[in-house]
Amino acid sequence: GKDPYYHAGAYYIQEPSAMLPASVLGTKPGEFVLDMCAAPGGKATRIAEDLKGEGLLVANEINTERSRALLRNLERCGAGNVVILNEDPAHMTKTFKCFFNRIIIDAPCSGEGMFRRDPFAPKSWEKFGPSSCVPIQTNILGYADEMLMPGGSIVYSTCTFGEAENEDRINDFLEKHPNYEIVPHRELSGVTHDDEGM
C-alpha cells in the first residue's frame, strides 16, 4: 500500500479469490452493470476496466463509511463511466427496473473466510452469524431480480463457507424464480483448464 504505483492507480491489491467473481461476470464494453455491494471497490475497478469506457457501472454501497472507501478506490484507479451510490437496494428497484445486463453481488456474510487473517472475524461471526445474514442475502437477490433485464446474468459470491449463505441461497432463489438457470462460467486462465493439459 506504500508503492507509488498503487497510489497512482496502476493496480489494486486483493486476494485471488476476491478477484474471481468479477472475472466470472464477464463484463463487455457497452453493458450496464450493477455492483450491488461494491465497497471497498476491487470488483468495481475490474468491471470498470472491462467496460473500456463504454456503457455504465453503478457501484452501490449501503454503508456510508464504506462507500467513501469505494469512492477513493474508483477515483484512484481512474474509473470513468461510473455512478457511485450509497443507497438501500430496495429503493434502487424503482429507478433501475429491468435496467442492468449484469449484476454482481458480493453479499454481506458471516465472514468465515476471513478467520485466518482477521482476529476480530470470529467474534463478529458469533454476533452476526449466518442467521442474521441469510435474510439480508435473500432480500438482495430478490432486488437483483427486479433490476436485471431479461437475458441478463447475476454473479453471487460471499467470503464464507456455509451452505446456508451460498448453495442454499441460490437454491432458494431458483425455486422462487424459475426463469433463472445456473450456467457454467466462461474459461478463466488459472481457474479452468482442458483435461488434455493436466
pLDDT digits (tens, 9 = 90+) for 15-35: 777 889 999 999 999 999 999
Top-confidence residue, 105 or 16 = 105
From residue 52, alpha-carbon distances to 25, 73, 124 in Å are 15, 17, 38
The sheet carrying 100-106 orders its strands as 82-85, 56-60, 32-35, 100-106, 148-157
Top-confidence residue, 146 or 3 = 146
| Amino acid sitting at position 54 | E
Catalytic residue among 37, 77, 133, 159: 159
> In angstroms, how far is CA 53 from the centroid of its own chain?
20
Top-confidence residue, 37 or 10 = 37
What pLDDT is recorded for position 9? 80
Mean pLDDT of 90-112: 95
How far is 198 from 196, CA to CA, in rounded Å?
Answer: 6
Mean pLDDT of 121-143: 89
pLDDT at 62 over 90: yes
Q: What is the largest CA-CA distance in the chain?
A: 49
Q: What is the rounded (10 degree) CA torsion for 110, 70, 18, 157?
A: 50
Could you confirm whether 109 is annotated as catalytic? no
Of the listed ranges 65-74, 104-113, 171-180, the one predicted with least confidence: 104-113
What pLDDT is recorded for position 197? 47
Give the model confidence (pLDDT) of 144-187 as tens digits: 999 999 999 999 999 898 999 999 999 999 999 999 999 988 77
Cell numbers linked to 97? 427496473
What pLDDT is recorded for position 182? 96
Of the listed ranges 80-84, 146-150, 186-190, the one predicted with least confidence: 186-190
State which H helix or E strand residue 91 sits in. helix 89-95
* HSE (side-chain half, CA atoms, 13 Å) at 127: 5
pTM (predicted TM-score) = 0.90
